Amino acid sequence: MVLLHGRAGNPYAILRHARVLGQPDLALLAPQAEGRSWYPARFVRPLAENAAHLDSAFSVVDGLIAAAGLPPERVALMGFSQGACVSLEYVVRRRPLGAVIALSGGLMGAAPPDPAPEPGTAGLPVLLAGGREDRQIPLARVLETEDALGRLGADVTLHLRDGDLHGVTEAERRLAATLLARLGTAPAGA
């Protein structure tokens, strides 16, 4: 599983969430974004403002997948906040993987997202989590992302939490573990 941290974060922050998934056989790869940010502008700005940085982030993910030596369908991508946005964009713009766990994120761009499907997005398991009052990731964008992914044929599990928390809850970690178990990448009962 490739793990992408949020803005101003670091690999240790996202690894903390993944380690509690109860999956000892899962290899965790967590890169550090240059300058602790995957892209400079807010994710709801025009995509062109982040395009070069997004391509760079995609290259990091490509490199980790290549280094792991696994087929893409055996790789899950998990991100928090900025990392969640990069994860979602990766699978709809670059190539689909085995699963995506997007914690407090959404598809990027100024307009409601309408990505062209990447071959293989049909049936892609996605956990999309967000807060109803999260000031960083507007609820409207989370719902637009769910709609866009659904139109691409992804198998989306939406989890909305009450309150303004911009973080990860225990319920979301349990949902992530369940999604990975369905893929056969986790031991039964995780």
Residue indicated by tokens 């030596």? 69
The total of other beta-carbon atoms located within 10 Å of residue 92's CB is 24
- Residues 6 or more apart in contact with residue 151 via CB below 8 angstroms: none
Token pair belonging to 166: 């911009």
Distance separating alpha carbons of residues 140 and 132, to the nearest angstrom:
9
Q: Are strands 125-131 and 76-80 parallel, antiparallel or unpaired?
A: unpaired
Is the distance from CB of 115 to CB of 151 less than 8 angstroms?
no
Residues 59-111 pLDDT 10s: 999 999 999 898 888 899 999 999 999 999 999 988 889 999 999 999 999 98
How many C-beta atoms lie closer than 10 Å to residue 151's C-beta? 13
Say what angle helices 139-151 and 82-93 make with each other, to 10 degrees: 20
pLDDT tens column, 148-159: 999 999 999 999
CA distance 190 to 51: 37
Mean pLDDT of 3-11: 94
On the question of pLDDT at 189 being above 60, the answer is no
- Supply the pTM of this predicted model: 0.91
- Asked if pLDDT for residue 20 goes beyond 70, the answer is no
Percent of the chain whose predicted confidence (pLDDT) is above 70: 93
* Paired residues of 131 in beta bridges: 161
Give bridge partners of residue 158 from the DSSP assignment: 128
Write down the pLDDT at residue 133: 93
At residue 184, the pLDDT reads: 62
